[in-house]
């Protein structure tokens, strides 16, 4: 069997003008995402700003996600890069207690540009996977400065039945080629790079993760829907539009900052970043975002029928 094509959004976390967690805005945002059928990761270290969340806030984000999404779309906890296996295990206990569908297991970040040895990578994954009870998606990501060997990831999927997938964010497409070849097709494989989305699908991977879906979830899902339908022209047209939208977001001051600013221009929930990140204030950048929203008719496609 081939993996079922799908997409996940790495949800942002709304903060109000006093930088407090805005629970109502989060609920509205999650409902908007769920209406498109996209899978959702919450509490992530990138667009989710999870490094700024206090323990009680982290729990509330997970609880709200369960209340709004469980049983409607896949809802998973992403978390942040840990310094020890114990940190990841503690996060797993919280995820199990709150009741999300699954969690991501980030690569170990030992700090000071240090990289664990292959034996230390194996021990870390063994310690974590042996102590968490929820389904796990392993992350291999350039943010920590190294990647898990493909052979180690394949071994972990065979040893631990709770491993259901791998999230791959590696600019080297050959790594993705090797991984999809090495894993049983029961294991999900998602690329974290928008530029690899179609390549991943062509390799038989599950699909892609997209922070861009915070702004344009319907467009992100159209790529998947057209691909599932075997509509090559429709897939390419949607993907081209998504790539151009993504480029404008990154040009507009960083994906998360620009996304929150764009949502504000549309009157949609998103809030502002929390320090140390700062809201987008550059007038030219904000004007460019306004042009982008009009050029790609984001209001017409993404705002209509928003819950």
Q: What pLDDT is attached to residue 48?
A: 96
Q: How confident is the model at residue 307 (pLDDT cuts 50, 70, 90)?
A: low
Average pLDDT over residues 88-116: 97
Number of Cβ within 10 Å of residue 45's Cβ equals: 20
Q: What pLDDT is attached to residue 170?
A: 98
- Strands 136-141 and 163-169 come out as parallel
Q: Which residue has the higher pLDDT, 184 or 306?
A: 184
Please report, for the chain, the start and end positions of each structural domain, with discontinuous segments joined by +.
6-229
Each residue of 2-49: pLDDT tens digit? 799 999 999 999 999 999 999 999 999 999 999 999 999 999 999 999
Fold (CATH) for 6-229: TIM Barrel (3.20.20)
Each residue of 233-272: pLDDT tens digit? 999 999 999 999 999 998 866 689 999 999 999 999 999 9
Number of Cβ within 10 Å of residue 267's Cβ equals: 10
CA dist., res. 215 & res. 241, Å (int): 13
Provide the percentage of residues in the chain whose pLDDT is more than 70: 97
What lies within 8 Å, CB to CB, of 77 at 6+ separation is 41, 42, 43, 62, 65, 91, 94, 95, 98, 100, 102, 103, 104
């Amino acid at each position: 069997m081939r993996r079922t094509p799908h997409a996940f959004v790495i949800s942002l976390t709304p903060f109000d003008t006093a930088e407090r967690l805005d629970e109502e805005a989060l609920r509205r945002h999650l409902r908007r995402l769920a209406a498109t059928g996209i899978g959702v990761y919450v509490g992530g270290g990138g667009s989710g700003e999870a490094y700024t969340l206090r323990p009680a806030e982290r729990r509330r984000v997970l609880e709200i996600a369960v209340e709004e999404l469980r049983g409607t779309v896949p809802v998973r906890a992403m978390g942040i890069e840990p310094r020890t296996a114990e940190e990841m295990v503690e996060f797993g206990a919280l995820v199990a207690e709150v009741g999300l569908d699954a969690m991501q297991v980030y690569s170990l970040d030992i700090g000071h540009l240090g990289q664990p040895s292959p034996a230390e990578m194996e021990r870390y994954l063994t310690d974590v996977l042996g102590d968490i009870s929820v389904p796990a998606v392993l992350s291999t990501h350039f943010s920590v400065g190294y990647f898990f060997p493909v052979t180690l990831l394949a071994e972990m999927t065979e040893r631990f039945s709770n491993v259901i997938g791998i999230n791959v964010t590696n600019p080297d497409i050959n790594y993705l080629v090797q991984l999809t070849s090495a894993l049983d097709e029961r294991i999900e494989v998602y690329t974290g790079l928008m530029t690899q989305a179609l390549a991943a699908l062509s390799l038989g991977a599950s699909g892609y993760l997209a922070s861009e879906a915070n702004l344009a979830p319907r467009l992100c899902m159209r790529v998947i829907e057209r691909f599932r339908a075997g509509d090559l022209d429709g897939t390419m047209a949607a993907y081209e539009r998504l790539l151009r939208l993504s480029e404008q977001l990154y040009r507009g001051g960083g994906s998360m900052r620009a996304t929150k600013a764009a949502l504000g221009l549309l009157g949609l929930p998103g809030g502002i970043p929390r320090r140390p990140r700062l809201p987008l204030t550059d007038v030219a950048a904000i004007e460019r975002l306004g042009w982008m929203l009009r050029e790609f008719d984001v209001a017409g496609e993404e705002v209509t029928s928003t819950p």
